[in-house]
Amino acid sequence: MSVEELKKRISQLEEELAVMKNNQPRSKIDTMSSEVVDSNPYSRLMALQRMGIVENYQAIRSFTVAVVGVGGVGSVTAEMLTRCGIGKLLLFDYDTVELANMNRLFFQPHQSGLSKVKAASDTLQFINPDVQFEVHNMNITTVENFDKFIDRLNRGSLTGGRVDLVLSCVDNFEARMAINTACNEQHMNWFESGVSENAVSGHIQAIFPGETACFACAPPLIVATGIDEKTLKRDGVCAASLPTTMGIVAGFLVQNTLKYLLKFGSVTRYLGYNAMQDFFPTMNLKPNPTCDDRYCRANQQKYAEQLRLAPKEEVVVEEEAVVHEEEWGITLVDESVAVKEDKNVAPGLELAYTVDAPVVEEPAAEDDGISLDQLRAAFKSM
C-alpha cells in the first residue's frame, strides 16, 4: 500500500470515527412508560396495554429469547424483538457479513468482514440500549459447541436460568436437527422457520415437545435418507434470496413469539407462505408415535399423561326459553320476534333487501242468501 493510499485510508477512518462520536446511543430507560411524548420510544408499544390487547406489556423485559442463525430471517427477527423491548437476546451464528448479503435487510456494506453476531449486536445495541445481548460466534453442530449451546439455553436467561424461547432461523437441515435434538432433550419450546431456495415461499412452525410434531417426526427427504447437504451444492450456483419473503417470514415469526410470551391471541402451530398466489396455509402437526428421536417419544408419553390427569371441564349448554309446553312433551319456541326496518338510508345507498309489510285482508261482506229479485218482490207486496 502506497503512502497516498495510507493517507486516504486514514482520512476515511477519521471520518467514520467522527460519525460514530456524533451518533451516540440514547440513555437507558429503567421503566417503560405509556406517556405520549416524542421522546418516549415505548409509548406506541404500551398503547397495546391501554387498548386491552395485552394485559402487561412491560413483562416483555423479563423474557430471554435465543435466536439461532443471524442471516436474512434471523437478523430481522432480532431487530424486531429489540425494537419491541425484549429483555435479552442470545445470538448464535458462525458466518461473516459479505457484500453478497446486501440484497437482504439489516446488514450494511461497512460491516463486511465482521462476524454476523458482532455486527448485529453493535447495531441492535445502538437501536435499543435497554436490551441485553449475548453473542456466540460458533457452529452449534459440532460436538463441543453443541454442549455449550445446551448450557447457554439452560443458563443464559436474565436470571441465570433457562431461556424462555428458542427461534430457529438457520438455512440448513443439519443445524435444524441440532436445535431439534437440544430442545427435545431439554424439553424447551421453540419455533422453526425457513425460506425456500427459490425465495418465493416460506413457513414458521411452533414446536412444543410432546404436544406437537418435532422436526424429526416428519423429516425432509434429505434428512430421512441421510444425504449430506454439502454434496448438493455446486460451485457458482447459489440459492435465490428476496428481502420481501424473508421480512414476511420474520414478521410472522416475531408476531407469534410476542403472542406466546405475552399471552394474547392464538399462537399458530404452522403457517406457510406462497408468494406466487399470496397463499397462507395453516395446519396442526401431530407428533409421530414412531419418531426416531427417543426424547420426542418420551415427551409424547409425558404429555399424554398430563392430559389424562388434567381435570376435565364440563361444557354447559344453554337451552332456549320454552314458550309453551304440553303434557305430551311438545314444545314451541318463540319465533315471533317483530322485525322493525328503518328504510331511511344515506344518499347513494340502497337496501340489499326489504322486509315486506304484512298484508291485512279485509273481511268479506256476509251473504244472507237473499237475491236482488227476491228483495224487489218483497217490497212490491208491502
Give the DSSP per-residue string, 343-370. Answer: ----TT---S--PPPPP-PPPPPPP-S-
Q: What share of the chain is helix, strand, coil (3-state, %, to 5)?
A: 40, 15, 50
Are the CB atoms for 90 and 152 separated by under 8 Å? yes
Phi, psi of 66 (to 5 degrees): -100, 125
- The sign of the CA dihedral 27, 32, 35, 40 is positive
Rounded (5°) CA angle 126-23-13: 105
**What gap in Å lies between CA 270 and CA 358, rounded to an integer?**
53
Are residues 86 and 58 in contact, defined by beta-carbon separation less than 8 angstroms? no
Dig out the grid coordinates for 133 from the structure: 445481548
147, 186, 216, 317 from 150: Cα distances, Å:
5, 8, 18, 48
Q: Nearest-CA neighbor of 166 among 157, 94, 227?
A: 157
Strand, coil or helix: 43 = helix
Residue type at 84 in one-letter notation: C
Cβ(195)–Cβ(259) below 8 Å: no
Beta sheet of 270-274, edge-to-edge order: 132-137, 88-93, 64-68, 165-168, 190-195, 201-207, 270-274
Phi, psi of 192 (to 5 degrees): -105, 145
Of the candidates 84, 217, 238, 291, the residue annotated as catalytic is: 238
* Chain centroid, CA 240 distance in Å: 24
Burial environment of residue 137 by CB neighbours within 10 A (0 to 12, 13 to 18, 19 or more): middle
Active site residue 84: no
Query: Which residues are part of the catalytic machinery?
Result: 238
